[in-house]
Amino acid sequence: MDVDSPKKKIALQLLLTGPIISIQVVNECSNVLHKKFQLDYTRIAKIMDNYLKKVTVVPITMQTINLAWKMGEKYRYSYYDSLVIASALEHNCTIFY
């Protein structure tokens, strides 16, 4: 992982704004840290705990899932992408990264 990458700098700046994220984002980040970066779950928990202090994590409900199914059907997004988008819509997010 390039610690000085422009994407990382932008991501860190966004964390300072107190963003809303779906629990699906937590799941996907954990999966990438484990599979791509070969981190053990103890290390992942420490990393995620640090970031989760800076964000509001919103749950996935059956309402979220139903909206995700509709969006996936209409726009052909993947199910997991649809879950993240549905969560953003449910929580009136005006900017989506």
Q: Does the pLDDT of residue 5 top 80, yes or no?
A: yes
> Could you list the residue range(s) of the whole structural domain that residue 78 is in?
20-90
Q: What CA–CA distance (Å, rounded) separates 97 from 50?
A: 20
- Tens of pLDDT, residue by residue over 36-88, are 999 999 999 999 999 899 999 999 999 999 999 999 999 999 999 999 999 99
* pTM score of the predicted model: 0.81
Q: Is residue 84 one of the residues assigned to a domain?
A: yes
Q: Is residue 65 one of the residues assigned to a domain?
A: yes
Residue type, 36: K
The total number of structural domains in the chain stands at: 1
Q: Is residue 41 one of the residues assigned to a domain?
A: yes
Q: Is residue 60 one of the residues assigned to a domain?
A: yes
Residue 83: burial class (beta carbons within 10 Å; 0-12, 13-18, 19+): buried
Q: Is residue 29 one of the residues assigned to a domain?
A: yes
Q: What CA–CA distance (Å, rounded) separates 9 from 59?
A: 27
